[in-house]
Structure 1
Amino acid sequence: MKASAHQGELTMPKSAYRTGSFLMQIRKNKYLYLLLFPGVLWYFVYKYLPMYGVIIAFKEYNFSKGIWGSPWVGLKHFQFLFRNDDFLNIVKNTLLINIYELLFAFPVPIVLALLLNEMKSMLFKRTIQTVVYFPHFLSWVVFGGIIIQLLSPNEGLVNNLLRFFGVEPIFFLSKSEYFRPIVIVSSILKEAGWGAIIYLAALSSIDVDQYEAATIDGANRWDKLIHITLPGIRNTIVLMLILKVGYLLDVGFEQIYILYNPSVYDVGDVLSTYIYRIGLQGAQFSVTSAIGLFQSAIGFLLIWGTNRIAKKFSEVSLW
Structure 2
Amino acid sequence: MPHHVEHDSEGLPIPNRIKAKPVKRPGQIVAAIIVVIFAAMIVKGLITNPRFEWNVVWKYLFNERVLEGVGYTLLLTVISMVVAIVLAVVLAVMRKSVNPVLRGVSWFYIWFFRGTPVYTQLVFWGLFAVLIPRLSLGIPLTSVEFWSIDSQAIITAFNAAWIGLALNEAAYLAEIVRAGLDAVDPGQEEAAKALGMKRSMIMRRVILPQAMRIIIPPTGNETIGMLKTTSLVLAVPFTLDLQYATNAIANRIYKPIPLLLVASIWYLFITSILMVIQSMLEKHFGRGFQARPVGPKGKQPPLPGKTDGEPKDDVNKTNQAEFMGYTA
Task: Report TM bin, short chain.
Answer: 0.5 to 0.7
Partner residue, 1:307: 279
Paired AA for residue 210 in structure 2: G
Which piece of structure 1 moves more, 87-96 or 235-244? 235-244
**Distance apart, 1:235 and its partner CA:** 0.9
Is 2:139 the counterpart of 1:169? no
Deviations along 1:50-96, one digit per CA (max 9) or x if unpaired, are x949965x57xxxxxxxx3x2786555223321x2111111111111
Could you tell me which residue of structure 1 aligns to residue 237 of structure 2?
260
TM-score (structure 2 length as normaliser): 0.63
Q: Which residue of 1 aligns with 2:244?
A: 273
Name the counterpart of 1:188. Answer: 166
- Could you report, residue by residue, the CA deviation over 1:256-305 in whole angstroms, capped at 9, with x for unpaired residues? 111015xxx4xxx2122234444579442023213202321331133124
Shift of 1:129: 0.7
Q: Which residue of 2 aligns with 1:35?
A: none
**1:118-197 map, 5 Å:** 118-121=97-100, 125-126=103-104, 128-152=106-130, 156-159=131-134, 161=136, 167=148, 169-172=150-153, 178-197=156-175
| Distance apart, 1:310 and its partner CA | 4.4
Instruction: List runs of 5+ in structure 2 lacking aligned partners.
Output: 1-16, 29-34, 138-142, 291-328
Q: CA-atom RMSD, angstroms?
A: 4.1
Deviations along 1:192-234, one digit per CA (max 9) or x if unpaired, are: 1222111111211222222222222322212311232112211
For the residue of structure 2 that corresponds to 1:118, the secondary structure is coil
Matched residues, percent identical? 16
CA contact (8 A) 2:250 2:259 kept: yes
Once residues 199 and 136 of structure 2 are traced to their aligned partners in structure 1, the CA distance between those partners, rounded to angstroms, is 38
* Corresponding residue number in structure 1 for 2:67: 88
Q: Which moved more, 1:87-96 or 1:221-230?
A: 221-230
Q: Do structure 1's residue 208 and structure 2's residue 186 form an aligned pair?
A: yes
Partner of 1:206, secondary structure, is coil
- Unpaired runs of 5+ residues, structure 1, are 1-8, 23-43, 60-67
* Equivalent residue in structure 1 for 2:95, among 116, 119, 122: 116
Number of aligned residue pairs: give it.
Answer: 258
TM-score computed with the length of structure 1 as normaliser: 0.64
Amino acid at match of 1:118: S
Question: Quick check: 2:176–2:215 contact (8 Å CA) kept in 1?
Answer: no
Deviations 1:160-191 (A, max 9, x none): 6489667563435xx8x833222222223223
Whose helix fraction is larger, Structure 1's or Structure 2's?
A: 1
